[in-house]
Amino acid sequence: MKAGEFMKYSIAIIGSGSMGKHHSTSYDQLNEFYSDIQIEKKVICSRNITAERADELGWAEYEKDWQKVVVRPDIDVIDISAYDNLHYPIAKAALENNKRVICEKPLADNSEQARELVKLSQDKNISCTVCTNYRYMHAIRCIKHLIDSGELGEIRHVYCSFTMDWAIDLNMPMYWRLDDKISPTGALGDLGTHLIDMCYYLGLEFSEVCGMNEVFGKKRKSGDTFAETTANELCVFNARFTNKALGVFELSRVSGGGGGMIFEIHGTKGSVRWEKMQMNELLVHTGKISDSWRYKRINAGEILPYDYKWSSEFKQNDGFTLLFYDFLSGNGRSPTFNDGLKCCEVIDAILHSDKEKKTIKII
């Protein structure tokens, strides 16, 4: 690419809810701070979209039928931020119409669907990405640096927790994330995908899992009647990695205290702990950093300098901007559909483990 040239992409986003808003903001940030890529926010699509919502999020047009969007010749990239059960059919249709795809997680309802999407994208030689944006957290990159540099030694133990509290009130009305027809993998697929992907990103390959899932609000108010809650609200599972390290994972929508995310890695030379509530800090113990066996609180910028064009410290939406830039620039650093498939394989195994009451090996 010559000096002064840039890559221009016409994007359509399918989904106008919270993730559609996050993605829209990140496209604006990408346009503001990167001169080699230009995003045209062409169309926003959802069943309930209005001209006011499209204007609020900065999209030129709006459409209610996604099937009309994926065939448009003036669209280069389809961004799928819709309900979980729509990820697979929209991604498949987009690929069949030779569109590049950005897909929210989980990639599909199961690994069979995800595997089909991987093959289709490979057969057509179309690059795609899945929005496992937590791997872009600056603190997580710092943890990867500590692992890759050998400062933590050989990894032996992983503890991960991602909890929310919005479903703890059993009188809360029915919501789509609690319906397994719309959200087939529940809290596990929604929250657990991030933790599973971060482990893979850090070089930890899953070998086998043993898990349990539960639903607590069996019936919830839905209009003038009640609906069955069928998607898991709580999932816990244990894992063994190929290096023989063990992991403990907790995913919940029914845990009080406001929820949060905790990610711990313990090795033979040191340990590190990250809490999302303190997004830009790490608790670190290595012999190099501390002579005692206690954690030391460190700003992530002291481990790896912040190198973002727009801020000295990381904010959650920044992960999407960095992911979108990596994907659209083609630099090879963005997560792929194959990464999404690996997460789906682990999720399938956990659900199978709960059903069969036994440990399941990962394919």
What is the tens place of the pLDDT at every residue in 42-73?
A: 999 999 999 999 999 999 999 999 999 999 99
Average pLDDT of the segment spanning 10-37: 96
pLDDT at 15 over 80: yes
For the CA atoms of 283, 257, 157, 184, the dihedral, rounded to the nearest 10 degrees, stands at -130
- Residues whose CB is less than 8 angstroms from the CB of residue 321 and which lie 6 or more positions away in sequence, other chains included: 26, 29, 30, 33
pLDDT confidence of residue 307: 85
Average pLDDT of the segment spanning 149-169: 96
Q: Are 16 and 53 in contact (CB under 8 A)?
A: yes
Average pLDDT of the segment spanning 29-47: 96
pLDDT at 106 over 90: yes
User: Taking all residues of the chain, what is their mean pLDDT, rounded to a whole number?
Assistant: 95
pLDDT confidence of residue 315: 85
pLDDT at 355 over 80: yes
pLDDT at 1 over 60: no
**pTM as predicted:** 0.96
pLDDT confidence of residue 313: 82
254-275 pLDDT, tens digit per residue, is 999 877 999 999 999 999 999 9
Taking each helix axis as running N to C, give the angle between helix 316-329 and helix 18-33, from 0 to 180 degrees, rounded to the nearest 10: 60
Rounded to an integer, what distance in angstroms lies between the CA atom of residue 148 and that of residue 201?
11
- Hey, what amino acid is at 325? Y
Can you list the domains of the chain with their CATH numbers?
7-133 (3.40.50.720), 134-311+336-361 (3.30.360.10)
Residue 102 burial (CB count, 10 A): 25
Residue holding tokens 């503890």? Answer: 159
Per-residue pLDDT band at 291 (split at 50, 70, 90): low
pLDDT at 339 over 90: yes
Q: Are 87 and 102 in contact (CB under 8 A)?
A: no
pLDDT confidence of residue 293: 67
Q: Decide: residue 232, CB within 10 A, 0-12 exposed, 13-18 middle, 19+ buried.
A: buried
pLDDT at 3 over 60: no
pLDDT confidence of residue 34: 94
Per-residue pLDDT band at 290 (split at 50, 70, 90): low
Per-residue pLDDT band at 310 (split at 50, 70, 90): confident
pLDDT confidence of residue 289: 62
pLDDT at 35 over 90: yes
Average pLDDT of the segment spanning 160-182: 95
Distances (CA, A) of 157 to 1, 30, 211, 243, 244: 45, 37, 17, 11, 9
Average pLDDT of the segment spanning 175-198: 98
pLDDT confidence of residue 316: 82
Percent of the chain with pLDDT over 90: 90
Closest by alpha carbon to 329, among 77, 124, 45?
A: 77
Rounded to an integer, what distance in angstroms lies between the CA atom of residue 188 and that of residue 253?
10
pLDDT at 77 over 70: yes
Average pLDDT of the segment spanning 112-129: 98
Percent of the chain with pLDDT over 70: 97
203-240 pLDDT, tens digit per residue, is 999 999 999 999 999 999 999 999 999 999 999 999 99
Per-residue pLDDT band at 294 (split at 50, 70, 90): confident
Per-residue pLDDT band at 292 (split at 50, 70, 90): low
Rounded to an integer, what distance in angstroms lies between the CA atom of residue 276 and that of residue 283?
12
pLDDT at 4 over 70: no
